[in-house]
Amino acid sequence: MKQLSLNLNSLATILFTNDLYAYKEVPVTLEEWYEVERILKIHGLHGPASLFGLSSDEMMDILNISEFVAYKLSCRIKTMSTFLKLLNDLDAKGIRMITKYDEEYPRSLLKRMRKRAPAFLYVIGELPRDFEGISIHGLQDVEKKDRAYTKRLVDKIIEENKWFISNDSKGIDSEAFVYAINHKCKTIAFMCDKDILDKAHDYKRQIKNGSLVLLSAIDPSRRFNITNCLDRNSYVCGLSKYQIIVSSKINSGATWFTAMHNMHHNWTNTFVLNNHYAGNIRLLEMKTTPIYIKDILSDLSFEMIYENNKKTDAEEINIDQMSIFEFLGEDNE
């Protein structure tokens, strides 16, 4: 497993934006951080490490950074020794942090999500340099047929030497994750809070041999909230070339909202299984691509299935024009 090794720009990014639970000083927000990066670029400075050694007055007078942001940055600089200790504590648990200034940071997240990409990631395992990911989503209640379709989809991921991208949720994703692990499918899992340490212990062999990587965008010591969950689901889309929805309901919460969010931002291509679920039927009326049972059972690649089935006249999604019941997930089935 890799040891903690950060370049100065990465170190600065984590120092100023990290959410480490033991930290008292408030970090800059993602929006504030991108504005700081923009200002540094305008002044021809070589990345966030240029902020080291500057006082809050110098940040305001020389770089024209706002007073509030300059204050937060200067407070973080004064806590460098505490910060390095916290990083070392994480490293002792096998967790390291990376940013876009590290080569290991997934380029697909930056390319697809741009400013919505996480400023840093907590990592256990070794991320591949280049990969194509496929995520599988669905309801927590799994029917027998859905379980069979999910397993066949994972088999296709294995056959095509792609990576399964998991969001560590119950139901369809959990079925896919367990099957993937047991069948040596290469897997990247975005985890929920402390589960990352539990799974690191349970699957240490897979992590060691490079077939499993665990990720989190928040401190593993923190408890997840609904915003964290929605962000995590969007990052899974950012890591995936294709998102496959096996089952959904218009009132299904995470699966439905993630599909809406993804279609609005176009992070990835969405496959929806053509079946009896009302959520799937509605999604197929919109700009999603159908995947049929015959496709799942065939030897066709995901790329071939997408080219064969993609729509050219799909209904455009306008969030403002959607039914309030659909957007909020009210039960209208």
Task: State yes or no: pLDDT of 319 exceeds 60.
Answer: no
Give CA–CA dist 154/186, Å, rounded.
10
Residue type present at position 176: A
Residue type present at position 331: D
Q: What's the half-sphere exposure (Cβ side, CA atoms, 13 Å) at 322?
A: 22
Q: How many other C-beta atoms can be found within 10 angstroms of the C-beta atom of residue 110?
A: 14
pLDDT of residue 196: 87
Give CA–CA dist 325/257, Å, rounded.
12
In contact, 289 and 242? CB cutoff 8 Å = no
pLDDT of residue 2: 57
The DSSP symbol for 12 reads H
pLDDT band at 195 (very low <50, low <70, confident <90, very high): confident
pLDDT band at 258 (very low <50, low <70, confident <90, very high): very high
Q: Which of 103, 118, 143 is the last residue of a domain?
A: 103
Give CA–CA dist 35/240, Å, rounded.
27
Q: Are residues 157 and 90 in the same domain?
A: no
pLDDT of residue 203: 94
Question: Which structural domain, as residue segments, surrounds residue 234?
Answer: 133-328
For residue 228, the domain's CATH number is 3.40.50.450
Report yes or no on 118 lying in a domain: no
Q: What total of structural domains would you count in the chain?
A: 2
Bridge partner residues of 137 (DSSP):
245
Mean pLDDT of the chain: 89
pLDDT digits (tens, 9 = 90+) for 286-307: 879 999 999 999 999 999 999 9
Q: How many other C-beta atoms can be found within 10 angstroms of the C-beta atom of residue 194?
A: 14
Report yes or no on 179 lying in a domain: yes
Report yes or no on 89 lying in a domain: yes
Compute and round to an integer the Cα radius of gyration of the chain. 21
Report yes or no on 1 lying in a domain: no
SS3 21: coil
